[in-house]
A = this chain, B = another copy of it.
Amino acid sequence: MPANPVLAEQTRGNLVENRHRGAFVVVDAGGRVIAAAGDVSRPVFPRSAIKAMQALALATSGAIDRFALGDEELALACASHHGEEVHVASVARFLEKIGLAPGALECGAHPPSNAAAREALRQRGEEPTALHNNCSGKHTGMLAVALALGAPTSGYVGREHPVQVEVRRAIEAVVSEPLGTDRCGTDGCSIPTWAAPLSAWARGFARMATGDGLSPALAAAATRVFDAATSHPLLVAGSFHLDTVVMQAFGGRVMQKVGAEGVQCGAIRNKGWGYALKCDDGNMAASQAMVAGLLLGLAEPDAAQREVLERFATRPIKSVRGAVVGEMRAVSAHFRLE
């Protein structure tokens, strides 16, 4: 297999300093390839990029009905949030709604991803808690699934726990591919992550966008989850983050979600297309440039949407004193219709 192509590069002065290879694919629900580059059959851990798929377990388990969950809770379940005040307060309310305390979360604690929120916490002399963990909304959702299934909440992150079995089944239903323990790892937040080809992740997002190939109940749940995430983009990521500002700019037409180690997944909903992308080396800024390049080339942005995307497709690299000395940029030629 030849190496994947360079999908983003970082310059300094008059040379390319870093090269970021990767693969991506855009498909419709029937599996027709709209655009692609690199090896899209290699198994990839999707990490947080498929939280919208994991959130389907809230529907299949009956947790949405049991707790009368609204769009805010569904958006939080899809989120890698930045630990801003709105996120921490919203997750705390979500936990209250299901009758649990933050101590039930098994994701671990890390400082808020948002610099101002991190600084504010320090200024108050407080330690970060599990509520600040970017995955706390998803974990609260998983606790709701445990309660809906009548399973113990303790140990819900375990691979064999009924919650993770339910989540795995929901993902398998949309990707139409079995997820095997021979391609399994543990995510940063302690839950299992299952690898599958980029083509499977992309097609799963296309199915969620269109409902094609899903049961009516699952199709309805997928629409509900995408609507929740795209109508609450700030809850899904954070101020100034690509996922948030892109979803704000596209007003429901694009579902976009980052995953750790350079994964990006989403759907161009009005076209019925799903997409999945992985930067080979895991660089996050490079994967942002790539997905911005993908949406510029394939999502038919209007002028305002284009402006937002271009900010991420080409980003200045600065010296310590703030002078622009180079740029990170998508290699746009790859992101075109086949």
Residues of A near any B CB (own CB < 8 A): 2-3, 10, 12-15, 17-21, 43, 45, 106-110, 122, 133, 182-190, 193, 195, 261-262, 280-283, 286, 319-323, 325-326
Count copies of this chain in the complex.
2
The residue that A320 contacts in the complex, of B43, B109, B321, with Cβ under 8 A, is B109
Q: Known contacts A3-B3, A281-B19: does B319 contact A185 (CB below 8 Å)?
A: no
Given contacts A15-B195, A182-B14, A193-B12, whether A187 and B45 have CB atoms under 8 Å apart is: no
Structural contact, A45 and B21, CB atoms closer than 8 A: no
CB pair B321–A190 under 8 Å, yes or no, is: yes
Q: Are A320 and B190 in contact (CB under 8 A)?
A: yes
Q: Are the C-beta atoms of A282 and B323 separated by less than 8 Å?
A: no
A45 to chain B: which residues have CB within 8 Å? 12-13, 15, 17
| A45 CA / B326 CA spacing, docked (Å) | 13
In the assembled complex, the Cα of A8 lies from the Cα of B249 at a distance in Å of 38
Report the minimal beta-carbon distance from A330 to chain B, rounded to whole angstroms.
Answer: 15
Q: Smallest CB-CB separation from A318: which chain B residue?
A: B188
Contacts of A321 in B (CB 8 A): 106-108, 190
User: Measured between alpha carbons, how far is A185 from B13 in the docked complex, in Å?
Assistant: 4
Residues of B within 8 A of A326 (CB): 185
Q: Determine the distance from Cα of A71 to Cα of B238 in the docked complex, in whole angstroms.
A: 49
The chain B residue with its CB closest to the CB of A186 is B325
In the bound assembly, the distance between CA atoms of A43 and B319 in angstroms comes to: 21
Determine the chain B residues whose CB is within 8 A of the CB of A261 once the complex forms.
10, 17-18
How far is A149 from B321 in the complex, measured between Cα atoms in Å? 26
| CB-based contact A319/B189 at 8 Å | yes
A323 partner residues in chain B, CB cutoff 8 A:
186, 190
Specify which chain B residues have a CB less than 8 angstroms from the CB of A43 in the assembled complex.
15
Q: Are B189 and A10 in contact (CB under 8 A)?
A: no
Residues of B within 8 A of A17 (CB): 45, 185, 261, 282
Is the CB–CB distance between A186 and B281 below 8 Å?
no
Distance from A154 Cβ to chain B, minimum over Cβ atoms (Å): 15
From B2, B106, B184, give the contact of A13 (CB < 8 A): B184
Q: Given A320-B133, A323-B190, are A282 and B18 neighbors across the interface (CB < 8 Å)?
A: yes
15 example contacts (A-B, Cβ-Cβ < 8 A) are as follows: A12-B45, A13-B193, A17-B45, A17-B282, A20-B281, A21-B21, A108-B322, A122-B122, A186-B323, A188-B325, A189-B320, A190-B323, A280-B281, A281-B281, A282-B283
What would 10 more interface pairs be, CB under 8 Å, given A3-B3, A13-B45, A14-B183?
A2-B3, A14-B182, A14-B185, A15-B43, A15-B195, A109-B320, A133-B320, A185-B326, A188-B319, A188-B325
Which residue of the partner chain B has the closest CB to A130?
A: B320
For A2, the chain B residues whose CB sits under 8 A away are 3
**Min CB gap A258→B, angstroms:** 15
Determine whether the beta carbon of B13 is less than 8 Å from that of A320.
no
Q: Which of B12, B21, B184 contacts A14 (CB 8 A)?
A: B184
Instruction: Please give me the residue from chain B that is nearest to A192 by CB atom.
Output: B13
